[in-house]
Amino acid sequence: MKRLLIAVPYFWLLALFLVPFLIVFKISLSDVALARPPYFPQWQFEEGWSALTDYLRALDFENFWFLSTDDLYWKAYLSSLRIAVVATFFTLLVGFPIAYGMARAPLEWRPTLMMLVILPFWTSFLIRVYAWIGILSGEGYLNQFLMWLGVIQDPLIILNTNVAVYIGIVYTYLPFMILPIYSALEKLDESLLEAAEDLGCSRFTAFWLVTFPLSKQGIIAGCFLVFIPTIGEFVIPSLLGGSSTLMIGKVLWEEFFNNRDWPVASAVAVVLLLILIIPIILFQRNEQKNREAEG
């Protein structure tokens, strides 16, 4: 019975992660073909074992080689990394004060504040990103408002630039940053700050020497939770970004649907996954350390 229970999550992982990954990996080793599905070779069960060797012989790493020769892909990966790093930094900059304010709020307010942070998830992600187009566009609410105030004479061009992408990412992933930091700050014993002050710290040094190190695990967790999905982000750069916004998610989409080159698109996806494994392992290690410190 116990083994069966343990088997359930493993089966889940196998069926929904490993098998699809192997299929994608196999496609990345294939060649593009004018067929349906658009790649070659195809494995035919009825042709028996003899066909298997021919089939395997047809697979190669040509597509990965192609990725390394065309600098579009390198640039896309690097640009994605850069955008993810910068966006994670801004999310932290916005998220930390919010989490801090929540953890310091009166106890009876906290559930409401928490609710307000989670509330956006109840609306479709796509609709919320579309809503930003309405705010940021040339005739959007933001420009109308600033012109009404008299701050600017001509509308700012924000939409279809990287700034809009950053705004979209910070907005979308903010809860993933706030929640782990909040949970770390909420556990912080108020008397630790009083003790720090009592021992000669100003409010600011007390924050820097006590609050910050004790919320570090939450900050690290929040940064990974924002950074990891941001690298592969597709919807936000394609809706809010411009033609100059280069992100690997967009490249992937174009390879699949515009070029109909499934093998190259699959190779892009496999490399993206390999890149993401590093931060995922680091994140897991941070979580493990967290649990050990508490235990």
Partner 1 sequence: MMGAGLFLSVIFSGDVMASVAANQVFAPWNDPKETPLIEFRGVTKRFGDFTAIDDLSINIYEKEFFALLGPSGCGKTTMMRMLAGFETPTEGEIILAGQDIAPVPPNKRAVNMMFQSYALFPHLSIEDNIAFGLKREGMPKNDIADRVAEMLRLTRLEKFARRKPHQISGGQKQRVALARSLAKAPKLLLLDEPLGALDKKLRQDTQFELMDIQEKTGTTFVIVTHDQEEAMTVASRVAVMDHGKLMQVATPDRLYENPENVYVADFIGDVNLIEGTARKTGEGSYEINWCERTPPLKSTSDTVLSSGQGCTIAIRPEKVSISSEKPEEADNAVQGKIIDIAYLGNLSTYHVKLANGQMVKAQTANTRRISRRSFTWDDDVWLSWTATAGVLLKG
Binding of partner 1 by 186 (CB under 8 A): no
Q: Does 213 bind partner 1 (CB under 8 A)?
A: yes
CB closer to partner 1, 162 vs 211: 211
199 touches partner 1 by CB under 8 A: yes
Does 118 bind partner 1 (CB under 8 A)? Our answer is no
Query: Using CB under 8 A, which of 198, 208, 288, 289 touches partner 1?
Result: 198
**Which of these ranges, 98-106, 188-196, 254-262, 277-285, lies near partner 1 under the rule CB under 8 A?**
188-196
Distance CA 42, CA 80 (A): 33
Please say which residue, 112 or 202, places its beta carbon nearer to partner 1.
202
Segment contacting partner 1 by CB under 8 A, of 22-30, 118-126, 133-141, 195-203: 195-203
Residues 178/102, Cβ–Cβ less than 8 Å? yes
Is residue 208 at the binding interface for partner 1, with CB under 8 A as the rule? no
* Residue closer to partner 1, measured from CB, 111 or 213: 213
Q: Binder to partner 1 among 135, 156, 214, 239 (CB under 8 A)?
A: 214
Residue 85, CA distances (Å) to 19, 46, 98, 150, 214 in order: 31, 50, 20, 34, 23
Using CB under 8 A, pick the residue from 18, 119, 131, 195 that binds partner 1.
195
> Is the CB of residue 231 less than 8 Å from the CB of residue 88?
no
Considering the complex, state which of residue 59 and residue 188 has its C-beta at the smaller distance from partner 1: 188
Q: With CB under 8 A as the contact rule, which of the stretches 171-179, 200-208, 232-240, 246-254 interacts with partner 1?
A: 200-208
Nearest distance, CB of residue 67 and partner 1, angstroms? 44
With CB under 8 A as the contact rule, which of the stretches 55-63, 69-77, 175-183, 208-216 interacts with partner 1? 208-216
